[in-house]
């Protein structure tokens, strides 16, 4: 059995920001086909800043701890700052992850990035719709 840091155990036993955000501005879902773990991130964006971040994870203890710490790291950050949360930073923040659990830290950063992509995609569509309505005189 892998040996986890105290911080991993803390976030695994008592994960922060678990749940779903109703009417989330962006949703990012990722899965690892090898281990079968799934992670979904929900974000709320205010003024280009992540005002709320929540997650639902179906996976191993490390994946749950990773989700929890990523949500903590991302909250309050601008979208650009949140994009800089890398798997290496996540592992460092968790005071290390066993080698065979390192892939779990990839999922967290990927899910967060996907949620940001989703938000930006929706924003692009909304901006286009607004422009079209304006052009049509609505
Ligand atoms: S074992 Fe796959 S995410 Fe943890």
39-66 pLDDT, tens digit per residue, is: 999 999 999 999 999 999 999 999 999 9
User: Helix 61-74 crosses helix 6-13 at what angle (to 10 degrees)?
Assistant: 90
Q: Look at residue 12 and tell me whether its pLDDT is greater than 70.
A: yes
49 Cβ neighbours under 8 A, 6+ residues apart: 76, 77, 78, 79
- What does pTM read for this prediction? 0.90
Q: Which atom of ligand 1 is nearest to the CA of 60?
A: 4
Closest CA to 3 of 82, 74, 97: 97
Q: Look at residue 88 and tell me whether its pLDDT is greater than 70.
A: yes
Which residue segments constitute the domains of the chain, with CATH numbers given?
6-135 (3.90.1010.10)
Residue identifier of the C-alpha nearest atom 2 of ligand 1: 35
Would you state the pLDDT for residue 136? 74
Mutate to test the pocket of ligand 1, among 31, 63, 102 (most ligand atoms within 8 A of CB): 63
């Amino acid at each position: 059995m892998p040996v986890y840091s105290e911080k991993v155990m803390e976030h695994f036993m008592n994960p922060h920001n678990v749940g779903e955000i109703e009417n989330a501005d962006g949703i990012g879902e990722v899965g690892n086909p090898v281990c079968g773990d799934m992670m979904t991130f929900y974000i709320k964006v205010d003024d280009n800043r992540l005002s709320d971040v929540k997650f639902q994870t179906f996976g191993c203890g490390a994946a749950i701890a990773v989700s929890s710490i990523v949500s903590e790291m991302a909250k309050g950050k601008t979208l650009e700052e949140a994009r800089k949360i890398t798997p290496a930073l996540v592992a460092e923040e968790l005071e290390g992850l066993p080698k065979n659990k390192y892939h779990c830290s990839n999922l967290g950063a990927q899910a967060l990035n996907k949620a940001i992509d989703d938000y930006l995609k929706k924003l692009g569509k909304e901006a286009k719709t607004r422009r079209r309505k304006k052009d049509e005189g609505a």
